């Protein structure tokens, strides 16, 4: 039996990148995983298929985040296929403006700002709020933050880093609130990871220097893979992390040293 056998997990944005690595790790550990997606149904179903092919259990649920009624839609889809929850991973997030670009303070529009906060900050808040009646005592909440909230964000990621700074406060405060129920709340904070979100600066022959520079940021001398983050989440979801709560876990490979 796996460490998470008999438990149910929900991973937002669980079909791609870091979310997929988290979903697959929780599935390998025995959890039944709800793989949430907003638009990419194909990726979510591929993740479900991978988990099931390895002997695990999973199902996909759709709900666009950052729009009115997003948390309600997510939980309605979840409730159709599961009863109760043990592990909630708030992973879904965006880092670009509405036009798909990165913008500094002089370029970010009010619409860009509102969209970033709607997806990265407001959605996790209300997903947790409405999920507390479903989350069992002794459960786990794991939020995906970023190393940028401690290491100084690039100017064109200022609004994105601000959204995650709010998530950090949410994490530590929520841990105090839910402690009496035995629920732990922690945040993992990745650095640069080789995912689709960073494809334009890391992948392809033209970006070889970008990959080298990103890898050099860590004393370990390599670029992070999504599984490097997923495995940390696997620990936080397990009983082994029972005495860890309210923490911001540096998952940058030591890039902030």
Helices (H) and strands (E) in the chain, counts: 10, 7
Average pLDDT, the chain: 94
| Residue 199, C-beta contacts closer than 8 angstroms, at least 6 positions apart | none
Query: Residue 189: what pLDDT?
Result: 98
Whether residue 222 lies inside any domain: the answer is: no
Whether residue 31 lies inside any domain: the answer is: yes
Domain containing 145 equals: 8-191+227-250
Whether residue 92 lies inside any domain: the answer is: yes
Whether residue 196 lies inside any domain: the answer is: no
70-127 pLDDT per residue, tens: 999 999 999 999 999 999 999 999 999 999 999 999 999 999 999 999 999 999 999 9
Whether residue 240 lies inside any domain: the answer is: yes
CATH number of the domain where residue 233 is located: 3.40.50.720
β strands within 7-75, DSSP E: 8-11, 32-37, 57-62
Q: Are 77 and 62 in contact (CB under 8 A)?
A: yes
Whether residue 156 lies inside any domain: the answer is: yes
Query: Residue 152: what pLDDT?
Result: 73
Q: Are 6 and 87 in contact (CB under 8 A)?
A: no
Residue 217 has pLDDT above 90, yes or no: no
Structural domains of the chain, count: 1
Whether residue 66 lies inside any domain: the answer is: yes
Whether residue 199 lies inside any domain: the answer is: no
């Amino acid at each position: 039996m796996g460490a998470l056998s008999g438990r149910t997990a929900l991973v937002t944005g669980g079909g791609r990148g870091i979310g997929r690595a988290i979903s697959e790790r929780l599935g390998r550990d025995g959890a039944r995983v709800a793989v949430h997606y907003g638009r990419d149904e194909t990726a979510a179903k591929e993740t479900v298929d991978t988990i099931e092919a390895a002997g695990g259990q999973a199902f996909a649920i759709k709900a666009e985040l950052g729009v009115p009624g997003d948390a309600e839609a997510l939980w309605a889809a979840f409730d159709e296929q599961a009863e109760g929850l043990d592990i909630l991973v708030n992973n879904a997030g965006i880092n670009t403006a509405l036009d798909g670009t990165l913008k500094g303070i002089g370029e970010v529009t009010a619409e860009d700002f509102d969209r970033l906060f709607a997806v990265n900050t407001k959605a996790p808040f209300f997903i947790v709020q409405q999920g507390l009646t479903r989350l069992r005592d002794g459960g786990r909440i794991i939020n995906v933050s970023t190393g940028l909230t401690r290491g100084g964000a690039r100017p064109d990621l200022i609004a994105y880093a601000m959204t995650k700074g709010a998530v950090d406060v949410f994490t530590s405060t929520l841990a105090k609130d839910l402690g009496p129920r035995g629920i732990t709340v922690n945040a993992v904070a990745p650095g640069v990871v080789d995912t689709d979100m960073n494809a334009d600066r890391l992948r392809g022959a033209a970006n070889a220097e970008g990959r080298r520079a990103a890898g050099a940021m860590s004393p370990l001398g390599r670029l992070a893979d999504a599984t490097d983050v997923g495995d940390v989440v696997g620990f936080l979801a397990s009983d082994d992390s029972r005495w860890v709560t309210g923490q911001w876990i540096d998952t940058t490979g030591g890039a902030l040293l």
